[in-house]
Structure formats: C-alpha cells, structure tokens
Amino acid sequence: MLTRLIAFALLVVSTVLIATADSAAVAVTGAWARATPPGLDVSAAYFVIENRGAADRLTAVSSPVAGRAELHRTTTRDGMARMEHQHAVAVPPGRTEFAPGGLHVMLLGLEQPLRAGDRFPLTLEFERAGELTVEVSVRAAGGAGHGHGNGHGHSDGHGHGG
Ligand SMILES: [Cu+2]
C-alpha cells in the first residue's frame, strides 16, 4: 500500500518535472533588429536559440510592431542572394543562429519605422517548448558585411582629396 503511494507520488513528481523542463529547454538570447531605412516598412530580426532539451521546431513568429512576421533563410547561389520563406525551422539540441546572410525573422508591414535604440517584443512559437517572448533591440542599419561599419561616431568624412 505504502509502496503504491510512493510510486504514485514519484509518477506525479516526474510528470511535473518533465512538463517544466520542456518549456525551460529553449532560451533565446541576443535578439536584435535592423533600423529601417527611410521609406521602407520592412526589417529583419536576428537572435541565437539555445536548446538544452530534445529536438524542437520553430513554427511561427509574431510581433505587435509588424503586420506580419515570417521565417526566412537567405541563400547565396552563383553570387546571387535570395530569401526563401520557411514554414518551420528545425531547432536541434545546441545552438541555432539567426544571423545576417542566413536565417532571419522578416518583419513586414511595420507600424512605424524602427529606430536605433528602440525595443520591441517578438514572440516565437516552438512545437515542443511552446511560446516564448523576447525583447528585441534595434541597431543602426548598415554594418554587418558591408565593409564600412556605420556604428558609433561619424565616420563619414572622406579622407581622399580629389
Ligand atoms: Cu527575409
């Protein structure tokens, strides 16, 4: 009788542990988005997913600042970069990186331009881990991959006299 009770108690405890372990298995860090260039209402968001649990899938994204958010992957073939819409993104155990030139969240139909220093929420929906909302910080456009960093300070003065 007592053994049965203990066995039952253990079953309940382990079930609870599994349930909480699942949602805590996935963490999203370093979320940032590009400031929108004048006249555009689209941007891209990047982050790193760390999955300490079983293989998962990112199936949807959304944000109150954008009319629509999509999962995209940039691929380069014969020097031509193109974006492919992904219906879901595999999130195996370990790190999955969303970064310029690869996976990204496309933000479409922005309510208002994203300015450097702004912050906004982004909700990610995982098949196993469920919903996760992270704060995205907006960084100045340009930079990454284009040779001249457009970050802090005014680096606009052209040194070569004509
Ligand atoms: Cu895209």
**54-93 pLDDT per residue, tens:** 999 999 999 999 999 999 999 998 999 999 999 999 999 9
- Whether residue 7 lies inside any domain: the answer is no
Residue 137 pLDDT class (50, 70, 90 cuts): very high
- Whether residue 106 lies inside any domain: the answer is yes
For residue 13, report the phi and psi dihedrals to the nearest 5 degrees: -60, -45
Q: Which amino acid is at 126?
A: F
Give yes or no for residue 51 having a pLDDT over 80. yes
Strands 26-34, 130-139: pairing kind: parallel
Tell me the CA–centroid distance for residue 96 and ligand 1, in Å. 17
Q: Residue 61: its pLDDT value, please?
A: 98
Domain of 121, in residue numbers:
26-139
Contacts 24+ apart (CB under 8 A), 117-120: 118/35, 120/33, 120/63, 120/64, 120/65
Q: What is the pTM of this model?
A: 0.74
Tell me the CA–centroid distance for residue 21 and ligand 1, in Å. 32
- CB under 5 Å of ion ligand 1: residues: 72, 83, 106
Tell me the CA–centroid distance for residue 75 and ligand 1, in Å. 10
Q: What is the CATH number of the domain that holds 127?
A: 2.60.40.1890
